[in-house]
Structure 1
Amino acid sequence: MEIGHVYEMPPMRPDDSHTTYFPAGVIKIGVEYRDLNPEALMEYYGGDEAYIEELRRTAPLGIEDRGVSLHVFDADGQWEYLRFDLFEDAPHYHYNHLGGGRNHIIPFDETAHGPIAEWAVGKIRTGEIAPMLAQAGAPELAEGLDAGVLGDVADQVAAYAAELQARLAAAV
């Protein structure tokens, strides 16, 4: 049984001009504040109104939310395998399967797991993202993770994400 929702197209890539990247050995982690809304989706997906309307009807988490996203890429930034959306209304995470054919979105249960920011950074810090990377089609990245590097980078990511969330949420 699979939980969440699967889309057969990739999610929106991060906006590099608004994303800060933290190298972490075989991966790099991007931190970005996102304002997800129908207009942004329409622009990204080339004005495909039918697709946006389908999302509006079927997206279990909705298509309007905002907050910090943590993007987990391979080291050269070619493919985003995992995303943790630390959103205000509907926090969730993604398995972005290699090749772009599968974007699996999992709602996050803060009652069971606590705040998503702490949970996601904890997964990075402890290397528990390894099975998640393997699930997303990157077992070689999972095997190449360095616990020492991940611990250091997780602290930097957590600090920057908290600062970004506070600064940009206050501006809205």
Structure 2
Amino acid sequence: MSTFPPIGHDLTVGPIPIVEDETTFVPAGVLEIGYATRIVDSKAIARSASVLGAVDDGRTAEQTEAYLRELDENPPGGVALHVREASTHREYLRFDCFDDGPHYHYIVEPDVAQTIVGYDVDANGPVYPWALERLRHHLPALLTRAGRPDLAARLDPDAIAAAVDAVARGVADLERVSPTAA
């Protein structure tokens, strides 16, 4: 048994929903890997009542309003990478490769529970290359931690490698047109 504190922050809500028409998904065998430029502001949070409830958790109405105002004044943003099951479109992993506050999600039960893990840029370097490397070489362990060892067991390494390469090319195109891309 580990004596170290748990990794991440557990929430009893799912993540802010994917904006389907702004996200490109690449087939990866039993998975799809999506990428998009995202901005997290009050509008993004308002798309999910459960996320808004988590923001309100333990805060006064004034504190919540101040937090949302602060998000609108300086919203974090950058490239988001989404890993979801191809047949159900349920998301199990997300990497928010933001310039400010990069983090990733283990989405244990879509729309119900997730663990958000902050990313340490000082220790690990830029988040986006790190996230691609996780997808390329550590996806089975990540999916297992997200509660899906069955998906991890069915991964096709060649399909994953091809998808990660396609995602990297697509994100490079986003960077050419979007000032918020990582």
Which TM-score bucket, shorter chain as reference? 0.7 to 0.9
Once residues 80 and 22 of structure 1 are traced to their aligned partners in structure 2, the CA distance between those partners, rounded to angstroms, is 14
Query: Scaled by the length of structure 2, what TM-score is found?
Result: 0.81
Instruction: Tell me the number of residue pairs that the alignment of Structure 1 and Structure 2 aligns.
Output: 167
The superposition leaves residues 34-71 of structure 1 with CA deviations (integer Å, 9 ceiling, x where unpaired) of 110123212432895x5443488699xx9531111000
Would you say the 8 A contact 1:68–1:165 is kept in 2?
A: no
Per the alignment, in what secondary structure is the counterpart of residue 178 of structure 2? helix
RMSD (CA atoms): 2.6
Amino acid at match of 1:135: R
What is the rounded CA distance, in whole Å, between the counterparts of 1:43 and 1:92 in structure 2?
Answer: 20
TM-score (norm 1): 0.85
> Is 2:81 aligned against 1:78?
no
> Quick one: higher RCO (CA 8 Å, sep 6+), 1 or 2?
2
* Bigger Rg, which one: 2
Residue 56 of structure 2 corresponds to: 53
Unaligned runs of 5+ in 2: none
Equivalent residue runs for 1:115-130 within 5 Å: 115-126=126-137, 128-130=138-140
Matches for 1:149-164 after TM superposition, within 5 Å: 149-164=159-174
Q: 1:139 aligned to 2:142?
A: no
Output the CA distance in 2 between the equivalents of 1:70 and 1:55.
Answer: 30
Is 2:16–2:51's contact at 8 Å kept on the other side of the alignment?
A: no
Unaligned runs of 5+ in 1: none
